Amino acid sequence: MSSAVTQHKITRPNAVAVGTIVWLSSELMFFAALFAMYFTIRAVQGPAIWAESTELLSIPFAAVNTTILVLSSVTCQFGVFAAERFQNRRTGKLHQVTQWGMREWFATTFIMGSIFIAGQVYEYALLVSEGLALSTNAYSSVFYITTGFHGLHVTGGLIAFLIVMIRVSKARRFTHQQATTAIVVSYYWHFVDVVWIALFAAIYLIK
């Protein structure tokens, strides 16, 4: 009975979760301003610069990188499910994915997020080598600003995952507070994933 009550308490909104949602709302406004800047400059500069610059983008590469980030939201949510049932680590062998705990799912999410950032850095290096640097033209400026700020947010999420996993590994038992922290971090991670999907559509698909 007490276990069922505890489980119910974890999924209920609390001050930390509500505060996080409010903060994410302000972040949403920030990215909305970036989108407005992107489309405004595009309208002012005209389609010629956009058409010329977007030819340098690799949509297949960006699509693969996007898929990795989107799938990391799935692994993150599985980590949340484990946290809600107070399973902080796996109960079986490493290859037995169905018995993974929060730490294994969050570690997988961290790896996938790191791959996404590495892919973004690789794309930047490739574009610079092809002559599209930050100060090349109006398109390159808004491209690096919008994707760069998102990359910083993803990096912040990776740091949050590390902090959660380190705290859990040092704790003697998995507590309600740690489970709540894991859930709040998942809110942030899902947020940056959704923002990237919108950015991917605006920058790579709508030419």
Tokens of 163: 């902090």
pLDDT band for position 47 (cuts 50, 70, 90): confident
Rounded Cα distance between 104 and 95, Å, is: 11
One-letter amino acid of 59: I
Beta strand spans in 16-157 (E) = none
Residue 201: other Cβ atoms inside 10 A? 11
Residue 171 carries which DSSP code?
S
Compute the mean pLDDT over every residue in the chain, rounded to the nearest whole number: 87
Angle ∠(155,152,103) on CA atoms, nearest 5: 15
Is the pLDDT at 197 greater than 90, yes or no? yes
Give percent of the chain above pLDDT 90: 51
Most confident of 1-5, 24-28, 99-103: 99-103
What are the residue ranges spanned by the domains of the chain? Answer: 2-205
> Above pLDDT 70, what percent of the chain?
91
**pLDDT exceeds 60 at position 141:** yes
Cβ atoms of 40 and 207 closer than 8 Å: no
The band of 1, judged by pLDDT with boundaries at 50, 70 and 90, is very low
Residue 1: Cβ-neighbour burial (10 angstroms; 0-12, 13-18, 19+) = exposed
Residue 180: predicted pLDDT: 86
Write the pLDDT tens digit of every residue in 52-110. 888 889 999 999 999 999 999 999 999 999 998 888 888 888 888 888 989 999 999 99
Residue 7 pLDDT class (50, 70, 90 cuts): very low
> Residue 61, Cβ neighbours under 10 Å: how many?
14
Average pLDDT over residues 26-42: 88
* pTM (two decimals): 0.85
pLDDT greater than 90 at residue 206: no
Q: What was the pLDDT predicted at 175?
A: 81
Q: Name which CATH class applies to 2-205.
A: mainly alpha
User: Residue 140 pLDDT more than 70?
Assistant: yes
Token representation of residue 92: 């079986």
Nearest to 105 by CA among 125, 129, 132, 84: 84
Biggest CA pair distance of the chain: 66
